[in-house]
Amino acid sequence: MRVRNKPAVLRTRYYTLNSDKDGYYYSLIVCHIPFRDENQLMLEDETPESCFLRRKDELRPLLTNVSSEDFAHAEQVIQQALAQATALNVARETRCENVTRETGFENIRDDQIINADEHIYQYQDDYCEDVEERGAMTDDIFLNNIRGLNIQQKNLFQRISTAIEKDLHGDDEKLLLFITGGAGSGKSFVLKLLVEQIKRCYAPTVDLLLKPKFVEVGSLTGVAARQVLGKTLHSLFSLPIEKGNSTAYRRLTGEKLEQERRKWRNISWLVIDEVSMVSYENLRMIHLRLQEFKNNDKLFGGINIVLFGDIMQLPPVKGHWCFVQPPWNAAEVNLWHAFSFCELTINMRQRNDTEFVDLLNNLRVGELTTSQLELLCQRRRVALDEEFKDGVVVRIFPTVKQVDEYNNEMTAMNSKQNRVYTIRSIDESREVATYGKRPPDNVIPKDVNNCGGLLSEVKLPVESRVMLRRNISVSDGLVNGAMGIVKTIKWPSLRRDQLEEGELPDCILVKFDDESIGNRLKDSDGCVAIPPVVATFQGTKGYGDIERRMLPIILCWAVTVHKLQGTTLDKAVIDLGKKVFAKGQAYVALSRVKTLEGIALSDLEPNKVLHKPHDGRALAEMQRLRGLHTRD
């Protein structure tokens, strides 16, 4: 073998995917796969794109005498091009599939389904921090999830992928799409895959050294935002806290505006989850903010908007439904009417319990039958012991007051046997001038969701029921939302007790409800050690960054229905008594649980499920949208 000693320059033109797709992939192959004979790089009947994917394991930076940063950069360019090619390819694959199957998921075994959450949760779940920084899904998980989509989800995935491709090719037409479906139809599941698809497809279009962002994900409440690793809409768009019917809109100015414009420069997609809770007023403010960020007067600043949600679920707490334009805005363009519509109708959460699916579908539209009411009454008669005993399973209440009362009651009951420890977070300034100091109380945000999801104080006896607020180990099931019981509190220096009130323990040992959780980290008693974690968040009044160290838990003997919108549970004791106050609340509460057997009702007021449990305007709007859709 002759080794070439003289360096040679490999010449290839600069192509982009849009300018010349074949040239683009061919130049990547030539630059990153060693060859003796260029004619043998590709097989006779293959395209440069399929050759690029076929030989993906051979691709590497063919650079010598370069810095390690340049080498790493070249490696990343290859990985991004590969991720993009895989994404575009899988979208084409779903397009070509036989779409005549009825439901589309009957051939898939449960053990073949890899939950989209699983991968995403591998990354430290620093709420409101930069999700883009957390890397991408592995190809295996991404492809398996897409292949596991049911037929409706696949069609939707394909529809958006087509819009992505068009957008990449500079098409002016933007996608404004409202995706709906009953609780458990897999909206959030698809959302995560779409976000991944967007990131993959756009990543090679801008130099990665600029750390560009292409998509933002938002939701109204912190918990819903957490479910999809997004941010709250209030933080994303600096929305004012709604008071009364005020629609006053304050434009951003100066450095803040410049900062936002830089942030949004490459963003061409906004995805909003649980849109039923977003008011029309908020939607309008988002539209105006985006015009400011993008510095134009196009609808939503001329970017693609995908809304996910079910208007038969919970309405906005303040303001009008997202589909009701307030009279004082009537002269403006109706933003809601600009959206096209897509509906998912296959229930993926309760798919193994058809009787329950029917009950939920009827409850959703206020058509519960007598036999379905009888099924609920049976769940009311279930004894609240054993698997449904106090403390063993989470209680769901309609109001915050009921939740607080129940949590306090349980802590008080628990305190008869176990000492109640007050545990406080350690907060330190991360600003240069005050570094390491404890920030004044009045600059610490009141809402825990603006503090990285970490509480400032918790009263914790052992045997408390808690919920994890961070992902510790995804593959082991230790994810945000996992619930269990605190069995031991471990204090620093192997001390048996807390040294002074407020002291933060080394860790707590938690026994999780789901026995499969924490298998790899469990001790001999089946408990998993949960140590304090760190979150950095912004102080109020312009204080700057604050770092908080705290146990990543909240007490969760009970939670409100509103907190749970968007989540999935195995078991729950639900209160559907007189305090049910919102339309859709009974439906949202019941639909969190996978099976009817997993539900016990601590109270049931038949009127709340029989007499208009849904909002008539929401139903009328669904019918209008379906009508438009069939006419399309």
**Cα pseudo-dihedral 246, 248, 249, 251, rounded to 10:** -140
Are the C-beta atoms of 402 and 575 separated by less than 8 Å?
A: yes
Q: Choose the stretch contacting ligand ATP; rule: CB under 6 A; options: 120-128, 185-193, 485-493, 512-520.
A: 185-193
- For 13, phi then psi, to 5°, come to -75, 160
> How many residues form the binding site for ligand ATP (CB under 6 A)?
20
| Binding letters toward ligand ATP, positions 557-596, x by CB under 6 A | ---------x-x----------------------x-----
Tokens 């000492």 map to which residue? Answer: 419
User: Closest distance between ligand ATP and the C-beta of residue 115, in Å?
Assistant: 5
Nearest CA among 275, 260, 109 for reference residue 181:
275
Say how far apart CA 575 and CA 195 lie, in whole Å.
Answer: 35
Site for ligand ATP in 130-159 (CB under 6 A): 148-150, 153
Q: Choose the stretch contacting ligand ATP; rule: CB under 6 A; options: 179-187, 445-453, 526-534, 620-628.
A: 179-187
User: Closest distance between ligand ATP and the C-beta of residue 347, in Å?
Assistant: 8
Q: Following DSSP, what letter does each residue of 449-462 receive, concatenated?
A: GGGTT--SEEEE-T
Interface residue with ligand ATP among 189, 280, 512, 587 (CB under 6 A) is: 189
User: Closest distance between ligand ATP and the C-beta of residue 87, in Å?
Assistant: 17
Tokens 């449990």 map to which residue? Answer: 613
Strands 465-468, 553-555: pairing kind: antiparallel
Tokens 């403010």 map to which residue? Answer: 285
User: Closest distance between ligand ATP and the C-beta of residue 276, in Å?
Assistant: 9
Q: Does 365 bind ligand ATP (CB under 6 A)?
A: no
User: Closest distance between ligand ATP and the C-beta of residue 90, in Å?
Assistant: 14
Say how far apart CA 617 and CA 347 lie, in whole Å.
Answer: 23
Q: Which is nearer to ligand ATP, 113 or 521 (CB)?
A: 113
Q: Does 27 bind ligand ATP (CB under 6 A)?
A: no
Q: Which is nearer to ligand ATP, 188 or 429 (CB)?
A: 188
Q: Does 186 bind ligand ATP (CB under 6 A)?
A: yes
Extract the tokens encoding 511. Answer: 């026994």
Mark out the alpha helices in 97-124 (DSSP H runs).
Answer: 116-120
Q: Which is nearer to ligand ATP, 113 or 365 (CB)?
A: 113
**What angle separates helix 139-147 from helix 68-96, to the nearest 10 degrees?**
10
User: Closest distance between ligand ATP and the C-beta of residue 287, in Å?
Assistant: 24
Q: Choose the stretch contacting ligand ATP; rule: CB under 6 A; options: 81-89, 187-195, 330-338, 518-526.
A: 187-195
- For 177, phi then psi, to 5°, come to -135, 135
Q: Which residues of 510-537 are buried (b: 16+ CB within 10 A; e: fewer)?
A: bbbbeeebbeeebeeebbbbbebbbbeb
Q: Does 26 bind ligand ATP (CB under 6 A)?
A: no
Chain residue whose CB lies nearest ligand ATP:
186
Say how far apart CA 494 and CA 317 lie, in whole Å.
Answer: 47
Q: Choose the stretch contacting ligand ATP; rule: CB under 6 A; options: 6-14, 76-84, 178-186, 553-561.
A: 178-186
CA diameter of the chain: 87
Site for ligand ATP in 329-358 (CB under 6 A): 348-349
Interface residue with ligand ATP among 115, 399, 415, 456 (CB under 6 A) is: 115
Binding residues (CB under 6 A) for ligand ATP: these are 113, 115, 148-150, 153, 181, 183-189, 310, 348-349, 566, 568, 591
